[in-house]
Structure 1
Amino acid sequence: MYEAGSEQINCNGAVIELPSLEVVKTAPKMPTDANIDWLLHIYFTRREFERCRRLIERELNRHLNAEYLYFVKGLIDREDGNNIEALRNLQKAVELNSKNIETYKEIGRTLYSMGRFGQALSVFREAEQQSPRKDHEIYHYLGELLYRAAATQPQLEVARQQQTEARGYFELAVQTGKKLESYVRLAELYRKDKEYQKAIDVLEACLHLTPENAEVLTEISVLYLKINETQKAYDRLAEVVNIERKCTPKGLLALGAILQSRNDVDGALGKYSQIADGEPEIAELWNNIGLCFFKKQKFIVAVSSLRKSVWISPLNYNALYNLSLIYIALCLRKLDDTENAFVAFERACSLAQGQQGSMRHPLVFLNFSLFCYETGRLALATEQYNRFMAHAQDLLLPTEYKFQATKLKSLLRISSHSHGILSDDEEAPKKEAETEEQQEELPLEVNAVVSKN
């Protein structure tokens, strides 16, 4: 029962006192000098730029924190594509507070988006000097800008220094932040320096940020192929298929290369055909297709495929190298033109020596040695075999190549402790004891590729 005008009610025989109600007061008016940065921030994060503009224009002359107003106005101008006005407003913010690192970073980003990379580099270096803490964004942009500078630097030594410095900044960015692009770029630099295991480690760590990133998984698989870890490469590619139910051209190319290395030529051609249907202008694709057809003894198609690879990329060393080997194989086995084949091999060996003594591909010496063995030039075969071993000791060669090299060593009677062959007196009884299996023709080795780098 409720008694009118009473502050008590009777409920089931018990008297309960009602709490007194307070009158709600009207909200006080905000003083004209109140800080409205929080409201401006809300409008900006909601991308309500028109409201931001009206608020900025109203408050700019009377606001106590004009720095933030110019800062936000600069960001809005950049979003609208007005980079010049954005730089003007951000510069005003710096003039009001030269210690705000965020403003320097936004100026650097704006210059970067405008393609003014040299100016952006100077701004980010200034930001690095003034920053009181390690900032992964600053490190990332410094690495990115130095990497770009190295790519366009005509002086080789300066370019190397810039690339080394860029790598150091990306390492700092990875250590101090969780930016996906930093991991990817650092792995790219490790790969460029042929430090494939380090690149794999960086990308494996990157998977903690994006466990189902198909591009990262594909890149890891390609790197595993570089160090001949084909099973690990296959496992990573299987994850890509499970995630996307299909592979990118790069992933399909890697899958095809794995199947090709396992002598599943038809399976590899099936993967390559999927790429050719969508993106046929890939030089490495036609290089590998050519090798598959060469394996199937379909020489005309093999030559046509490799010629297409060379047409797409005229300076593609792998395609030119493999095409020359197939031409030599045709001359040797079909036309019986061994003398011209011999001259071609001599020329290939002279070209295999790169600049500053570097070796482009030591397999050319193994192939020349195989050719010399088949044509009875045993001393020269041994010489070329030793040249191959001298340059191949530090390389991670596929098992098939190692098998051919070991087999050739046995046939040439090369001692483990000597670089020569047996003398003629020792050779004669040995030759008579050779079985037909030992005398079988050894195939020329050709190399499939996964990507340009």
Structure 2
Amino acid sequence: APELPVYERRNWLIHLHYVQKDFTTCKVLIKEQLAECGGMCEYAVYVQALIYRQEGKIQESLELFQTCTLLNPNSGENLKQVARSLFLLARHKAAIDIYMEAATINPKDWEICHNLGVCYMYLKDYVKAKECFKQALEIRRHDITYIMLGKLHLMDGDMNSAIEVYKSAVEFSPESPDLLTTLGLLYMQVNQYQKAFENLGNALTFNPQHTKAIMAAGSMMQGHGDWDVALTKYRIAAVNTPENPPLWNNIGMCFFGKKKYVAAISCLKRANYLAPFDWKILYNLGLVHLSMQQHASAFHFLSAAINFKPKMAHLFMLLGVALTNLEDPDNAKQAYEQALSLDQKDATIPLNYAVFLYNCGDKKLASKYLTIFGQNIKALPSVDQELLDMASKLAPALQVGENLVW
């Protein structure tokens, strides 16, 4: 048998221990190999750099990969690893330069095109990023490239293009529950619920335990008032991800829909414990406490939500309701006015403010806001019957009924 060069003698053993993740033995072998050959063994240096990267020593790994490029300047693989290390150090422009150099050696490497796209994405050069991702897909199709291109379209606010990208991705990987779920969620956002349901159903066919798909399907059922069916779905997800804040938030709101307020608060408190900075959970807790006429608790949660979401008009409106019931009309008035300044098109805010002003005895101002309510509902495609009933009761009391057509 031919004698292996002294530089490469232990490469097979280094490789064996590396793939078995036996890094301690691997390092010892590398040290011996490099001592023997005076640091001239490219593979030993390369594996040492990979181990450093695994251990989080990115700068050290970068230096070793650069040594590899000096030992073998014609290797595109070494340049790709140098660029990868620069990317991990958030030196995106330097990474692009190295990837460009690697592309001259391997012009048909999809990984180079894909990673160039990711670097441009971080530099917010979305046009070049899209070009790179499309080029990568022409060379070879990969799920991850479709996902990044779809994300890019979403960052641009181009929902239709994102849907087209994910449709192509699903054609390429028809059994990927992640891709099917994402496509389903995108259809939900454009109100195409039938297509959304089909894709989510397919995702659950391939993986019945897929939490994201269960959550999406459950929220659709919840949106249509099928509380029990949604809870059945959420029960499956709760087994796999018991510490999922949005899951407990949705379970809580299902119980709220079923008028089981104590169970709702219990679930929402759990969600709040798991995600104390999520304003939606705090908003829902405020809403449920208002329904239970626990106005001080409602005030507490709504104030906390406002700290995280100070531009949300509905939060100020609910705060106004809570303050009214806590017999603090001055602050309630301020809360309503803040809500109106944040959202002039909402119908519920002027109606609630009109009721508040009527109860405070200011009929003139109340009639003004009831008129605004009448104007605002004309622009809405559908209006809650409860709002119309409230307005029709208030209008005769304020003697403005003749001017308003619901």
The answer (yes or no) to whether the contact 1:370–1:381 under 8 Å persists in 2 is: yes
CA change 1:139–1:328 in 2 (3 A) is same
1:233 equivalent to 2:204? Answer no
Q: Who is 1:109 aligned against?
A: 84
Q: Which has the larger radius of gyration?
A: 1
Alpha-carbon distance in structure 2 between the residues aligned to 1:111 and 1:228: 42
Q: 1:404 aligns to what SS in structure 2?
A: coil
Are residues 134 and 388 of structure 1, via their aligned partners in 2, closer, same or farther at CA, if it must alter by over 3 Å?
farther
Q: 1: distance between equivalents of 2:4 and 2:230?
A: 73
1:77 to 33, 48, 59: 48
Q: Is there any run of 5+ residues in structure 1 with no aligned partner, and where?
A: 1-28, 62-66, 151-160, 393-401, 414-420, 432-437, 439-453
Relative distance call for 1:353 and 1:138 in structure 2 (3 A) is: farther
Q: Is the contact made by 1:253 and 1:285 (CA closer than 8 Å) also made in structure 2?
A: yes
> Which one of 111, 116, 127 corresponds to residue 137 of structure 1?
111
Q: State the distance in 1 between where 2:377 and 2:140 align.
A: 45
Aligned to 2:369: 380
Q: In the alignment, is residue 209 of structure 1 matched against residue 172 of structure 2?
A: yes
Give the whole-Å Cα distance in 1 for the aligned partners of 2:290 and 2:100. 58
CA distance in 2: counterparts of 1:345 and 1:309, whole angstroms: 31
- Which structure has more relative contact order (CA 8 Å, sep 6+)? It is 1
Higher share in helix: 2
- The CA distance in 2 between the partners of 1:279 and 1:130, in whole Å, is 42
Conservation of the 8 A alpha-carbon contact between 1:293 and 1:299: yes
- Residue number among 209, 216, 220 corresponding to 1:254 in the alignment: 216
Letter in 2 for 1:136: W
Tell me by how many angstroms 1:306 deviates: 3.2
Alignment of 1:413-432 (within 5 A): 427-428=401-402
Q: How does 1:180-219 map to 2 (within 5 A)?
A: 180-219=143-182
- Quote the RMSD (CA, aligned, Å): 5.1
Match status 1:278 vs 2:278: no
Partner deviation per Cα, 1:230-249 (whole Å, 9 max, x = no partner): 221211121122212x1322
Q: Which amino acid aligns with 2:369?
A: L
Deviations 1:147-174 (CA, angstroms, capped at 9, x unpaired): 5x57xxxxxxxxxx36776566445544
Equivalent-residue separation in structure 1 for 2:148 and 2:268 (angstroms): 32
- Specify the code of the residue in structure 2 equivalent to 1:368: I
Determine helix, strand or coil for the equivalent of 1:290: helix
Q: Determine the C-alpha separation between the residues in 1 that align with 2:98 and 2:269.
A: 52
Determine the C-alpha separation between the residues in 1 that align with 2:378 and 2:110.
45
CA shift, 1:256, in A, is 0.8
How many Å separate the matches in 2 of 1:214 and 1:278? 16
C-alpha change, 1:181 and 1:349, in structure 2 (3 Å) is farther
CA distance in 2, matches of 1:248, 1:174: 27
Kindly indicate whether the alpha-carbon contact (under 8 Å) linking 1:382 and 1:412 is maintained by their aligned counterparts in 2: no
Corresponding position of 2:272: 310
Number of equivalences: 346
Secondary structure (helix, strand or coil) at the match of 1:131 reads helix
Q: Distance in 2 between matches of 1:349 and 1:388?
A: 19
TM-score by length of 1: 0.58
Tell me how far apart the structure 2 counterparts of residues 48 and 332 of structure 1 sit (CA, whole Å). Answer: 60
Q: CA deviation at 1:353?
A: 7.1
